[in-house]
């Protein structure tokens, strides 16, 4: 999830663990702990694109990381507050463990996937929430802000924090239920249309859990469609994207390309470019085109060769016209 959401979750966890003893210090250190797993983006600044993608949500998002580093962080915090030791090293260790560990637990509900059981390669991706979801974050944030203005001895402090945790958990659980329902809609539509498909997956579109999209794999192409819970009917419009795998042949057997294919889980299409080819990662869908299937993909990787070396670079996305995209998204969320 996004940084703000992880800060809020970490702060709420910190309050739940040590709020009674140390007050707002628990919220502060919980918020800091909640952001620690995403520090894996720092080494990503100094390595190639594919390696950066591989380490993101890897070791730092695992149970092993939380177990190994929580005692160290707990020790550091206990030394910082040693002049006024309201909590023990063990108390701070518990706070940091849960603040760190709940971060990847939340991330498994998104699309990217989290290597929770590192060193196993398996990445868990439930794909029931978008990485930024105001419906999850805002109620949570309001409750945590209320906590900050109450004394640690005030019983309402615990109640506000508990409300935030319960409401967010209910919402998160409901998105899983919505995914089961929407998957049935997608599956029924494919069967009624007589499509000979090998697999499909689904995920919510940006900023909501009402409008969903799916990728369906056919022999030589992928189908992308959208369905809003508010749609009046269940007749879906499919947009077709050719795989064009033959364009990838000159680049196959290169380790970077093979690793990139593995990262996309095979959900990709290829396009010819001026300097080489572009690989579109279909798992994150289109950045627009919710009603016509037109637009660029959220994640695209340009693949080319320069001086005999294969280069893989992530295509930068422009924020130009984002207001029109949001308006189109809102219009499609309301249903057809």
Each domain of the chain, given as residue ranges in start order, spans 3-175, 195-336
Q: What is the pLDDT of residue 11?
A: 97
β-sheet with 199-204: strand ranges across: 199-204, 211-217, 221-228, 239-242
Q: What is the pLDDT of residue 85?
A: 86
Spatial CB neighbours of 27, under 8 Å, sequence gap ≥ 6: 11, 12, 14, 15, 19, 144, 147, 148
- Tell whether the model's pLDDT for residue 319 goes beyond 80: no
pLDDT digits (tens, 9 = 90+) for 252-267: 889 999 999 999 999 9
pLDDT digits (tens, 9 = 90+) for 64-94: 999 999 999 999 999 999 988 889 999 999 9
Residue 61's pLDDT band (cuts 50, 70, 90): very high
- Note the pTM of the prediction, 2 decimals: 0.93
d(C-alpha 74, C-alpha 91), whole Å? 8
d(C-alpha 223, C-alpha 153), whole Å? 57
CA 156 to chain CA centroid, Å, is 32
pLDDT digits (tens, 9 = 90+) for 154-192: 999 999 999 999 999 999 999 999 999 999 999 999 999
Residue 22's pLDDT band (cuts 50, 70, 90): very high
d(C-alpha 266, C-alpha 260), whole Å? 9
Please report, rounded to a whole number, the percentage of residues in the chain having pLDDT higher than 70: 99
Whether the Cβ atoms of residue 34 and residue 45 lie closer than 8 Å to each other: no
For residue 56, which of 7, 111, 14 has the smallest C-alpha distance?
A: 111
d(C-alpha 143, C-alpha 152), whole Å? 15
């Amino acid at each position: 999830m996004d940084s703000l959401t992880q800060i809020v979750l970490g702060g709420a966890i910190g309050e739940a663990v040590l709020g009674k003893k140390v007050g707002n210090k628990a919220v502060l250190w919980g918020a800091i702990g909640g952001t620690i797993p995403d520090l894996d983006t720092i080494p990503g600044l100094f390595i190639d694109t594919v390696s950066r993608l591989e380490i993101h949500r890897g070791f730092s998002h695992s149970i092993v990381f939380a177990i190994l580093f929580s005692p160290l962080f707990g020790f550091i915090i206990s030394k910082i507050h040693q002049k006024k030791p309201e909590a023990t090293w063990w108390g701070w260790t518990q706070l940091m463990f849960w603040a760190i560990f709940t971060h990847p637990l939340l991330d498994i509900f998104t699309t990217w996937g989290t290597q929770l059981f590192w060193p196993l390669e398996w990445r868990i991706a439930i794909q029931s929430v978008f990485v930024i979801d105001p419906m999850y974050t805002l109620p949570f944030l309001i409750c945590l802000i209320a906590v900050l203005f109450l004394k640690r001895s005030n019983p309402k402090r615990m109640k506000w924090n508990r409300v935030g945790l319960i409401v967010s958990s209910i919402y998160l659980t409901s998105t899983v239920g919505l995914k089961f329902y929407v998957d049935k809609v997608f599956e029924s539509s494919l069967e009624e249309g007589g499509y000979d498909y090998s697999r499909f997956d689904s995920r919510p579109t940006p900023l909501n859990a009402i409008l969903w999209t799916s990728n369906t794999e056919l022999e030589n192409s992928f189908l992308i469609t959208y369905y809003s819970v508010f749609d009046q009917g269940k007749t879906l419009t499919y947009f077709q994207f050719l795989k064009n795998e033959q364009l990838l042949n000159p680049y196959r057997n290169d380790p970077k390309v093979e690793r990139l294919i593995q990262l996309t889980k095979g959900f990709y299409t290829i396009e010819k470019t001026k300097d080489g080819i572009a690989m579109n990662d279909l798992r994150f869908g289109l950045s627009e085109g919710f009603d016509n299937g037109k637009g660029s993909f959220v994640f695209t990787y340009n693949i080319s060769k320069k001086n005999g070396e294969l280069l893989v670079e992530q295509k930068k996305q422009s924020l130009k016209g984002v207001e029109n995209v949001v308006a189109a998204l809102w219009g499609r969320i309301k249903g057809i």
